[in-house]
Chain A
Amino acid sequence: MRRALPGLGARIVLALLLLVGGWGAAAAQSPAGRLIQAARAQLEAPNPDSAATLLERALLPGTGATTAEQTRAFVLYGIAQLMRGTTGRPMFRQALQRDPALRIDSLYFFGDEIEREFTAERAALAPPVSQAPRAALSVTVDLPLDTDLSAGDGRLRISGGSSYPARVVAVVTPADAPTVVLWTDTQRVNVTTLAWNLRRADGTLIEPGRYALRLHAVDSLGQISQPLERVLQITRVTVDTQAAPAVPTFAAESLRLRGSPTSLLLGVALGAAAVGLPAMGSSDLNSSSGLGSDGSRYAVAGVVAVAGVAGFLVGHRVRPIPANIVQNRQARARYEQDRARIAQLNARARENAPVHVHVEGPGR
C-alpha cells in the first residue's frame, strides 16, 4: 500500500526541521570531523599530500573521532594514497574492518583504481562462502481445493514455492495427454503467484474435464526439481436456463376425404380405352380376324377398372385448407424464432456459467 504524500504544510515544517538540524549538526561537528571535511576538500583540489596530512591528524587518538569518522578518514586516506601513486588497500582494509557493509560508490569519481582496490579488499576480507551442498531442490504448490471462477475473467491462482530461491514453472495439460501443453507460465521477479485464466494459449476457454497441473522449480544453476502434479477437475456450474417453447398446436392443413368418384371414372375410362384400343387398327385387318380372341385387353381393362373402383372405395383425397396453411406457417415461424432466441440465450448462459475447479487429492 502506498503512503499518502504529506501535505504542503507538513512539507514546510519538515524543511525547517532539516535546516535547523543541519545547522546544529555543523555546529556540533568534532575536530576530527572538521579535519576530515577539510581533507575531502583537499582531495578535490587535488592535493592528496595535504589531504593525507589532515587525515593523519584526524586519526590521532586525541581527536576523539568516532568509529564512523575513523571509517571515513581511512577511506579518504586510501584514496589519497592512490592519488599519490601507492596502494590504498591497507587503508580500505581499516575502513572495512570498522564497517563490513561499507559502500563508497559516491567516491569512485576520484579515480578508476578506487573501485577495483576497494572491491578487491572487500573480497579479501569477506568470510569464506559455505561450500556445503544444498538440500535437493523441491517445489510446493498452494491451490484452493474447490473454487468457482467466472468464465469471463476468472483466474485460478497458483502459488508455487521452492525449497530455496528458484523459479517455479507451471504447466497445464489434459490429464490424459501430458504432452499437449494448454498453458504455461513462469514466476518472475516479485511474482510468486501465477494465475491461469482457464484458457488455452489461443484464448479459448477449456472444456470441462480433467487436467494436470505440473510444477517444477529451476535454480540459477539450472538444477531442476522433481515435478509436482495436481489433477484439476474442471466442470461447468449448472446455470438456470429457459425451457424450450412448447410446440404450437397446428391446425389441420387439409381435409382427408373419401375416395373420389373421379378415380372410379378414370378406372372405367382407362379400362374402356384398353378394350377399345384395337379400334385404332385397320378395319380390314380387324374384320378379317376376330378381335375377340385377344383376351388380354379385357384382362387389362378389368385390372384398371378394379383399381379405379378400389380407389373410390378405399382410397382418399386430400383437400388443402389455405387459411390453415397460412396460419400454421406464421405459427411455425414464431415458434422457430422463439426457439432460436431461447436457444441463443441458453447458450450464452451456459457459456458464461462459472467454472468450478476441484483439485483431486491434496491442494498443497
Chain B
Amino acid sequence: MTGRAALLLIFVLAPPLGAQGLGGGGLVYNVKRRVLYAGGVREQLGTLVGAEGGARLGPVRVGVAGLMGTLSGPGGVANPDVKARITTVTILLEPTPIVAVGAEVEAKRFEADAGVTEWRLIGATGRVALDLGVPGLVGTAQVSYFPSASIVNGATMSLAFRGTVGASYRSPRGPLTVNLGYRFERFDFKAVGSAPARLEQFQGLVLGAGFRLGR
C-alpha cells in the first residue's frame, strides 16, 4: 500500500469509526544527506515535499506521512542525483497528552540512474510534548529506533535511529497547526565481505503546516 493510499484510507475510515481527532497537512523536509564510505564523504542536499495525516481513536493515534524530492550534490558521476521517496506509518499510544509511545514503519526509496534502492525500517518510537506556557505552544521531542532495518535484498543496518526536536503550535481558536523541528537520522551499514562499512546521516529542518480537528 502506498503512502497516499494509506493517507486516504485514514481520512475515509476515521469518521465512521468515531475518531475523536483528525488532522493533516503539508510537510517540507530540507534535508542534507551525508555518506561516509571508504574514507570519503559525499553530501547531497534537497528539499523533500509531502503530506501527513492522522486520526485519533481513543488513546491511539495513527499517522501516515509521505515525502518525496530530489537529493543532489557536487561530484558529477561520483555523486549522482537521487530521487528520494519516504513513507512513514506510525501507531502511537497516548496515555497522556505529554507522552506517547508506539511503533513506526518506514520505507525509503532512492532512485538513481544506477538503480533503485529500497530501505525497510521497523521500530519503536517515543514522543514527548511539553507545554511551553503559551496556549497552543508545545515543545516536542521524538526519538525512533529501528531494530529491524535493512536494504531490500541488500545489507542490514547495524544501527538506525532518528531524532526530532522542535516546537508545535496549534491555534487555540482554530484548527490550524504549525510544526517546526530539526531532524537527525543515522544509519550504519556493516562491512560485508570486502565492501567497507557505510555510514549515512540525514539531517535538516522539518516544517509542517495543516489542520487538526478534535484532540
Interface of A toward B, CB cutoff 8 Å = 259-260, 262-263, 266-267, 270, 273-274, 277-278, 280-282, 284-285, 288-289, 294, 296-297, 299-301, 303-304, 307-308, 310-312, 314-317
Contacts and interface: CB of A to CB of B under 8 A. Distances in A.
Contacts of B199: 282, 284-285
Given A282-B199, A304-B165, A307-B167, A277 B186 contact: no
Given A274-B165, A282-B186, A285-B201, A307 B134 contact: yes
Complex A-B, nearest 4 residue pairs according to Cβ-Cβ distance, in ascending order: A311-B133, A315-B133, A263-B133, A296-B205
B41 A274 contact: no
B165 A300 contact: yes
A263 B131 contact: yes
Contacts of A311: 131-134, 137
A273 to B, nearest CB: 5
Interface string B17-45: 00000000000001010101000010100
Contact of B182 (A263, A301, A310, A316): A301
26 contacts: A259-B133, A274-B182, A277-B165, A277-B184, A277-B203, A278-B203, A280-B161, A280-B186, A281-B186, A285-B36, A288-B41, A289-B36, A289-B41, A294-B204, A299-B182, A300-B180, A300-B182, A300-B205, A304-B165, A307-B132, A307-B137, A310-B134, A310-B137, A311-B132, A311-B137, A315-B133
Interface residues of B, number: 32
B166 interface: yes
A273 B186 contact: no
B132 A294 contact: no
Contacts of B133: 259-260, 262-263, 308, 310-312, 314-317
B204 A304 contact: no
Contact of B139 (A267, A297, A315): A267
Interface string B88-127: 0000000000000000000000000000000000000000
Nearest to A283: B199
Main secondary structure of the interface of B (DSSP, over half): strand
A276 to B, nearest CB: 9
A266 B32 CA distance: 27
B205 A303 contact: no
A288 B42 CA distance: 10
B210 interface: no
B130 interface: yes
A13 B170 CA distance: 110
Contact of B36 (A270, A278, A282, A307): A282
B191 to A, nearest CB: 13
B204 A296 contact: yes
A304 B184 contact: no
Nearest to A267: B132
Contacts of A278: 184, 201, 203
Contacts of B43: 289
Contacts of A304: 139, 165-167
B146 to A, nearest CB: 14
Contacts of A294: 32, 203-204
B182 A277 contact: yes
B6 interface: no
Nearest to A306: B167
A99 B154 CA distance: 137
Contacts of A262: 133
A296 B139 contact: no
Contacts of A316: 133
Contacts of A270: 130, 139-141, 165-167
A275 B43 CA distance: 20
A314 B199 CA distance: 44
A296 to B, nearest CB: 4
A310 B188 CA distance: 39
B163 interface: yes
B36 A296 contact: no
A279 to B, nearest CB: 9
Contacts of B140: 270
Contacts of B186: 280-282
A123 to B, nearest CB: 88
